[in-house]
Structure 1
């Protein structure tokens, strides 16, 4: 299940922000999209 989430996060930047697999990328996404 975790592997599936990773694949979806890679395809969807929004999902990645919700999952937050990478704190560095998550901050960048949050700064670009505060939503």
Structure 2
């Protein structure tokens, strides 16, 4: 369970980074997640 939680946290961090990089790509990520 800890591993899954870590993976989820990493994915959220990556999405946040992409969000700050470009708005359009971040919107797509939010829709997928």
TM-score (structure 2 length as normaliser): 0.46
Q: Which has the larger radius of gyration?
A: 2
TM-score (structure 1 length as normaliser): 0.44
Name the structure where helix makes up a greater proportion of residues. Answer: 2
